[in-house]
Structure formats: structure tokens, C-alpha cells
């Protein structure tokens, strides 16, 4: 936001006035308050002064022009007669810098605050109950339509109802204050607890001249009955947990040894890699982190680490998803890339998990064997 004050100083009394600002394609603007007309003494003489406070919002980077302004007046002459007069100002030239980042929502403001309100404890819901989450984002120095869109919440284990977005504007002497309210209703589909990951909202702080961010915190959701049943019937001691972990590790080692004995070594190594990749949460976590950050190069590397070509259950779907990502990275035309769809396609390509590498090779027929020495 660029604060601007239009000021006119007049010797004569004014009976009628009309101020018109020429349209411009470089700025949006809004009037912050009613015009202030008052008498002011300047160099010992009394003048009629008009002030109008505006807030300008650049539409693009680079040089821009605002104005000119034309003030049509009906003045009272010294002979107490009415006369028409036109006062015209010069246009104002402004140079606007580029936004620090190219990707993501361009959002510049000051004093950005976020409030997160819940209707009940989401981690201890009654069976069949819902929790209402209301997030209010408030920012100084922006218009409501400049605030970012509502975050998309979509999980397989959760039923989500999103209410219409509410945007409001409050005009103050220091500039506009915009607010947006996002409301969701959540209900677990199976009752098994889950966690909604945090949502980071970056913006450019016009006070510090640096990038900053606010965050919608993570939200655990689940039914209290499911948690109670797990505590009553499924409590596992620390010793039992260690025993289960050791048993699981031994089973993996035994399976790898059996595959190395019955299958070819290269297939055994591939199957072992599939097992490790299937059970390790790190590749999937890196993939989701890269998708949330919007860094497409990091997303490309995480996708390769998450699903290798030889491990894909659906190679065609994997190739198509990576082709879209490569086009977004290296294509001449920059376009919005749907990271959520990319991650979903990649997970579908690997959904069958660890596949059987085949049965034990059968011995060749006797006729095909070489004669004994």
C-alpha cells in the first residue's frame, strides 16, 4: 500500500466542487475517509484547504503513473458572484519493485495476524460428532481480494464441509484493514485419529521489507471412543514394544535371506530396496514437504527418491506425472503446477506396494541340459 494525500489550497470561498482522478492501469486505489475541508493560515493569510486521503495498490512492478486529478469548482468572487474554475494537478510518477518470490500468492501487508478457533476438542470427539474450525486472517494495508485463497483440506480419512469464504474491509486513517474468515467442519470417516498438517501462509512485510509468514497449526482429529478402546485393550509395555520391533526386524532379515537364496541376486536386492522404501516414512515425508514448499526442483528430486522407475506399479502413470512436472520446470511458459495432484498420481503409481518378483525358477528340461562330462 502507498498512502497518498491530495491537497488543494484555495483563496476563494467554494460553493460547489467535484474532484475527478484520471483512471490508470498501474494502480488500484481507495479513498480512506471523507474529504477534510478546513481553514488554514499560510504566511499570515487565511486559505480554504481540502485534503483527501487515498491508499494506492500497485498492479505490477516497474514505473507507473497515477493521476492527474481535476478539481471542478464553483467559487464566490470578490463581487459575491459565482464563477466556474478548473484546477488540474500534474500526474504522479512511481516506481514499484518486484515481489521477492515468483511463485505462490503475492501478498504484501503489515501487522498480519491469524486466529484459530475450535468448537470443541477435535482429538476427543463423540461418535458421529463434528468439529468446526474457524480461521480468521487479518492484515493491514490490503484489500479483501488481495488476501490468499482458502487452503484446500482433503484427506481420505476425513469428511470435510467448507463454508463460504467471508471477506470484510475496514477503513481507518492509517489505511484499509482486510479480513478473511475460513470455516470448515470436520468429521472422521472411520474414527481412527489423524492429524491435519500445518499450513504456512507467506507474505511480504511492508514494515521490515522482508518475507514473513503466519501458520495455521496442525490439528489432531479423532473419536474419544477409539482412543479409549486403544488404551484399554491395546496397551503395550515398553519391553513388549522392543520385542515387537526386534521380531519385525528379524522377519525382514529372514525374508531378505530367503529371497537371496531362491531368486537372482539382482532381484533380491531390488525386492529388499522395495521393502525398505515401502516401510520407511522418510521418502514420503520428503515428497510432501517439497510439494508444500512449492519448490519444483526439490519436488523433482523427492519424486525420484520416492518412486524409482523399476519400482513403479504403474510406470505409465509415473512417467506422465514426471512429464507434467518437467514441463512446469523447464517449459517456456510459466504456469501454476498442481502439486497435490502430482503427489496423488505418484502415490497411485506406487499404490500396489511391494510386488512379488515371481516364483522360484524351475530347472531346465533334461533335453536342454548339457551332457555330463
- At residue 225 the predicted structure's pLDDT band, cuts being 50, 70 and 90, is confident
pLDDT at 37: 95
Convert the pLDDT of each residue in 9-44 to its tens digit.
Answer: 999 999 999 999 999 999 999 999 999 999 999 999
* CA–CA gap between residue 60 and residue 66 (Å, rounded): 13
pLDDT at 14: 92
Convert the pLDDT of each residue in 316-367 to its tens digit.
Answer: 998 898 988 888 887 766 567 889 899 999 888 887 544 433 333 344 444 3
| Matching residue, cell 491469524 | 114
Angle at 126 between CA 120 and CA 129, to 5 degrees: 75
Helix, strand, or coil (residue 251): helix
pLDDT at 361: 39
Confidence check: pLDDT of 232 > 80 = no
pLDDT at 269: 58
Per CATH, the number for 2-96 is 2.60.40
Helix, strand, or coil (residue 358): coil
pLDDT at 117: 97
Confidence check: pLDDT of 369 > 50 = no
* CA–CA gap between residue 199 and residue 316 (Å, rounded): 32
**Pick from 297, 313, 316: nearest CA to 347:** 313
Confidence check: pLDDT of 238 > 60 = no
pLDDT at 293: 85
| Matching residue, cell 500500500 | 1
**Pick from 93, 86, 170, 185: nearest CA to 131:** 185
Helix, strand, or coil (residue 185): strand
C-alpha cell at 336: 501454476
Prior bond of 332 cis (ω within 30°): no
For the purposes of burial, counting CB atoms within 10 Å of the CB of 1, is it exposed (0-12), middle (13-18) or buried (19 or more)? buried
Confidence check: pLDDT of 277 > 80 = no
pLDDT at 363: 40
| Matching residue, cell 463581487 | 79
* CA–CA gap between residue 122 and residue 130 (Å, rounded): 8
Name the average pLDDT for the chain: 83
pLDDT at 300: 87
**Mean pLDDT calculated for residue range 96-105:** 85
pLDDT at 370: 45
Amino acid at each position: 500500500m502507498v498512502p497518498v494525500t491530495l491537497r488543494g489550497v484555495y483563496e476563494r470561498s467554494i460553493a460547489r466542487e467535484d474532484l475527478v482522478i484520471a483512471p490508470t492501469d498501474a494502480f488500484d486505489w481507495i479513498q480512506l475517509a471523507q474529504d477534510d475541508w478546513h481553514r488554514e493560515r499560510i504566511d499570515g493569510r487565511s486559505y480554504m484547504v481540502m485534503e483527501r486521503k487515498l491508499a494506492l495498490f500497485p498492479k505490477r512492478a516497474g514505473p507507473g503513473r497515477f493521476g492527474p486529478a481535476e478539481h471542478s469548482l464553483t467559487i464566490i468572487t470578490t463581487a459575491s458572484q459565482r464563477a466556474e474554475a478548473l484546477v488540474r494537478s500534474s500526474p504522479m510518477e512511481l516506481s514499484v519493485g518486484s515481489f521477492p518470490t515468483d511463485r505462490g500468492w503475492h501478498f504484501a501487508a503489515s501487522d498480519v495476524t491469524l486466529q484459530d478457533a475450535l468448537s470443541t476438542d477435535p482429538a476427543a470427539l463423540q461418535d458421529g460428532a463434528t468439529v468446526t474450525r474457524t480461521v480468521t486472517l487479518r492484515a493491514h494495508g490490503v484489500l479483501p481480494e488481495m488476501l490468499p485463497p482458502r487452503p484446500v483440506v482433503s484427506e481420505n480419512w476425513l469428511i470435510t464441509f467448507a463454508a463460504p469464504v467471508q471477506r470484510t474491509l475496514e477503513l481507518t486513517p492509517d489505511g484499509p484493514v482486510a479480513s478473511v474468515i475460513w470455516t470448515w467442519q470436520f468429521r472422521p470417516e472411520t474414527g481412527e485419529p489423524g492429524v491435519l498438517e500445518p499450513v504456512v501462509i507467506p507474505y511480504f512485510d511492508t514494515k521490515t521489507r522482508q518475507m514473513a509468514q503466519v501458520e495455521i497449526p496442525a490439528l489432531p482429529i479423532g473419536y474419544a471412543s477409539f482412543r479409549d478402546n486403544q488404551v484399554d485393550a491395546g496397551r503395550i509395555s515398553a519391553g513388549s514394544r522392543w520385542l515387537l520391533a526386534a521380531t519385525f526386524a528379524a522377519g525382514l532379515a529372514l525374508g531378505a535371506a530367503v529371497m537371496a537364496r531362491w531368486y537372482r541376486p539382482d532381484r533380491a536386492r531390488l525386492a529388499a530396496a522395495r521393502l525398505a522404501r515401502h516401510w520407511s516414512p522418510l521418502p514420503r515425508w520428503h515428497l510432501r514437504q517439497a510439494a508444500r514448499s512449492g519448490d519444483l526442483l526439490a519436488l523433482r528430486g523427492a519424486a525420484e527418491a520416492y518412486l524409482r522407475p523399476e519400482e513403479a506399479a504403474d510406470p505409465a502413470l509415473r512417467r506422465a506425472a514426471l512429464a507434467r512436472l518437467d514441463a512446469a520446470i523447464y517449459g517456456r511458459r510459466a504456469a501454476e503446477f498442481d502439486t497435490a495432484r502430482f503427489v496423488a498420481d505418484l502415490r497411485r503409481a506406487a499404490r500396489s506396494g511391494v510386488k512379488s518378483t515371481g516364483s522360484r525358477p524351475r530347472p531346465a528340461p533334461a533335453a536342454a541340459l548339457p551332457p555330463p562330462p
